[in-house]
């Protein structure tokens, strides 16, 4: 233990701002598990979650000079990484195409999505029952087929399709409610 100094949060942040690699490593290690856990709740693929976390930490290091110590550092890092998670979903066209639903449902199709951020949509996905949420994420976000989902989750292809349809119906309802709320507020 000789030579090991304990750093305060402020010293670590200030070191990161100075591009001190040791401080950057300490900050990363202190918050990695929490951030990977958050990302894993939104994607079943660990590689994707790792990519999002690493992009998030790059942004953390670039923006750390804007952290004012007026709130929790972990909460601030969580917001930055969460925005990276949101950006991932915005870029994933299959995810957004799935949320467009059917062409004939024009009322749901355009209005809510144009007024919403991916974070809002992700919060709606979080409201789905766990099994339905999992199938939705595997299909719409990870791009797995129903056969792959069935094999991975030990369910039938029909059950996977049922969960996906249930997700679609629940999300349509939530989008309609959100759109009605937005039109009354705005």
Domain boundary among 60, 91, 122: 91
Give the pLDDT confidence score for residue 70 in this predicted structure.
87
> SS3 for 169?
helix
* pLDDT at position 93 over 60: no
* pLDDT at position 184 over 50: no
Cα distance between residue 72 and residue 34, in whole Å? 14
Please choose, from the candidates 183, 184, 168, 180, the residue with its C-alpha nearest in 3D space to the C-alpha of residue 105.
168
Same domain, 81 and 157: no
Domain boundary among 91, 121, 150: 91
Most confident of 11-20, 106-115, 177-186: 11-20
Give backbone dihedrals phi and psi of 44, rounded to 5 degrees, phi first. Answer: -85, -10
Q: In sequence order, what are the residues at sequence separation of 6 or more whose Cβ sits closer than 8 angstroms to the Cβ of residue 94?
A: 140, 141, 143
Same domain, 64 and 103: no
Same domain, 79 and 113: no
Residue 16 lies in a domain: yes
Give the pLDDT confidence score for residue 158 in this predicted structure.
93
pLDDT tier for residue 29 given thresholds of 50, 70 and 90: very high
Same domain, 101 and 164: yes
Same domain, 181 and 109: yes
Computed over every residue of the chain, the mean pLDDT equals 79
The 10 Å Cβ neighbour count of residue 152 is 14
Which residues constitute the domain of residue 155? 94-185
Domain boundary among 33, 65, 91: 91
Same domain, 136 and 148: yes
Look at the chain and report how many structural domains it folds into.
2
């Amino acid at each position: 233990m000789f030579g090991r100094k304990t750093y305060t949060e402020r010293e670590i942040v200030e070191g990161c701002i100075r591009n001190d690699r040791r401080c950057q490593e300490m900050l990363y290690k202190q918050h990695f598990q929490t951030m990977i856990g958050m990302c894993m709740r939104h994607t079943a693929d660990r590689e994707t979650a790792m990519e999002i976390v690493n992009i998030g930490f790059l942004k953390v290091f670039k923006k750390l000079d804007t952290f004012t110590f007026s709130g929790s550092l972990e909460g601030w890092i969580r917001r930055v990484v969460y925005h990276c998670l949101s950006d991932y979903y915005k870029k994933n066209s299959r995810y957004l195409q799935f949320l467009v639903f059917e062409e004939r449902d024009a009322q749901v199709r355009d209005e809510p999505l144009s007024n919403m951020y991916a974070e809002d949509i992700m919060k709606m996905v979080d409201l789905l029952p766990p099994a339905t949420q999992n199938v939705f994420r595997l299909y719409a976000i990870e791009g797995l087929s129903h056969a792959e989902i069935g094999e991975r989750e030990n369910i039938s292809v029909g059950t996977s399709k049922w969960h996906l349809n249930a997700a679609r119906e629940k999300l349509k309802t939530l989008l309609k409610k959100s759109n009605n709320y937005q039109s009354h507020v705005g």
